[in-house]
Homo-oligomer: A and B are copies of this chain.
Amino acid sequence: MAATLRDVAQRAQVSVRTVSNVVSGYQHVSEQMRRRVHAAIEELDYRPNPVAQTLRTGRTGVLALVVPEIDVPYFAELAREVIDAAAAVGYRVMIDQTGHDHERERRLLTGADRTMLFDGVLFSPLVTRAEVLEMNLSSTMPLVLLGEHEFDGRYDHVAIDNVRAAQDATDHLIGLGRSRIAAIGAQPEENYATPQQRTAGYERALRAAGLEPRRDYLQPAAHYRRADGYHAARELLALPDRPDAIFCYSDLLAMGAMRAVFDAGLEVPDDVAIVGVDDIEEGRYSRPTLSTVSLDTPFIAQHAVARITTRITDPDTPAAELTAPHTVLARESTEHPAG
């Protein structure tokens, strides 16, 4: 049986209130009382009830990081950065995964789901633009949104310039002299912000180079995983005039696409150059290594944690829109290794 506050009081021969005052760090307790209570706590191996402590302080010291899929490497790597950034300011982070459950995301974003005990939430949602506009996000739970969404400046939000990132990736392929440039990752029916912004940047770059976007070069992907990239690339490679370059909206899509190119008996980058987005570690070891748009994930993590701690202290602080830097990294999947 775990010792209770009452057991400690009995052993120390003081009142329960005195034990409670000592445990919660209340100042006006005599040194003698304090020592007596501490001795009893050690003898009985008493551990304060965390629920009761939370009620007293109103703070848990815990942030939630909510991501769609924890086994997508980008989210796992983001999680690691957020954990480090939060630890530096004394917070722990627990990770929650929504899957592709929109209702669950909606409940979390609107504050309808209050089963968890946190001081604040860092949220990377998959919601659609229409859903965001409909939402009336909770004002009671401090919230910072991550990722490429359009939130009309109503909420703290940290993300890259998504249109520009897609444009830069496509420009990189154009700069290699490729002209039949396809894209994998569109989701035209669902009206998500991320794919729409990336398609916009891709098409803008093509038009600026005098290339007309082709409908058959724009391949949808239900999710941004390896299997989706593999199947989309197979569709592209089966076209009569197959592309000589592919811009993939995530590195994981690009990993699947590279494998599809090899399985078709073709080479990357000779036959098809490939560039992704995210700069996950896998792409630094793959064969060939993967060219990608590197997001400044430490920047995203540090600024997200700074915003949430500010918002926890001052709930009325105005919402901030922060743009993280990005860079195109040219690796073997678009350029031959030196030598």
A residues contacting B by CB (< 8 A) are 2, 47-48, 50-52, 54-55, 60-62, 64, 69-71, 73, 76-77, 79-80, 83, 92-97, 99, 111-112, 114-117, 140, 226, 230, 255-256, 258-259, 262, 281-282, 284-287
Contact = CB atoms under 8 A, between A and B. Distances in A.
Nearest to A78: B71
Given A50-B114, A79-B95, A226-B282, 15 more contacts: A47-B112, A47-B114, A50-B116, A51-B117, A52-B55, A55-B55, A62-B115, A70-B70, A70-B83, A92-B115, A92-B116, A93-B97, A95-B96, A259-B286, A287-B287
A-B interface, 3 closest residue pairs, ranked by CB to CB distance from nearest: A94-B94, A95-B95, A71-B76
Contacts of A71: 73, 76-77, 79-80, 281
B50 A115 contact: yes
Query: Binding site of A, secondary structure by majority: helix, strand, loop or mixed?
Result: mixed
A96 B97 contact: no
A111 B47 CA distance: 9
Contacts of A62: 115-116
Q: Quick one: which of A96, A111, A287 has the most chain B CB within 10 A? A: A287
Give this chain's copy count: 2
25 contacts: A47-B140, A54-B117, A55-B55, A60-B115, A64-B94, A69-B80, A70-B70, A70-B79, A70-B80, A70-B83, A70-B95, A71-B73, A71-B77, A71-B80, A71-B281, A79-B97, A83-B99, A92-B96, A92-B115, A94-B95, A95-B96, A95-B97, A226-B281, A258-B287, A259-B286
B54 A83 contact: no
B286 A61 contact: no
A333 B116 CA distance: 45
A262 B285 CA distance: 10
A117 B115 contact: no
A278 to B, nearest CB: 13
Contacts of A255: 282, 285
Contacts of A258: 285, 287
Contacts of A93: 97
Q: Quick one: which of A77, A80, A95, A111 has the most chain B CB within 10 A? A: A95
A255 B111 CA distance: 42
A132 B286 CA distance: 37
A69 B84 CA distance: 12
Contacts of A55: 51-52, 55
B96 A94 contact: yes
A256 B285 CA distance: 6
A226 B285 contact: yes
Given A96-B92, A115-B92, A70 B61 contact: no
A61 B115 contact: yes
Contacts of A259: 285-287
Contacts of A284: 226
Contacts of A97: 79-80, 83, 93, 95
A39 to B, nearest CB: 18
B70 A117 contact: no
A258 B289 CA distance: 12
Contacts of A281: 71, 226
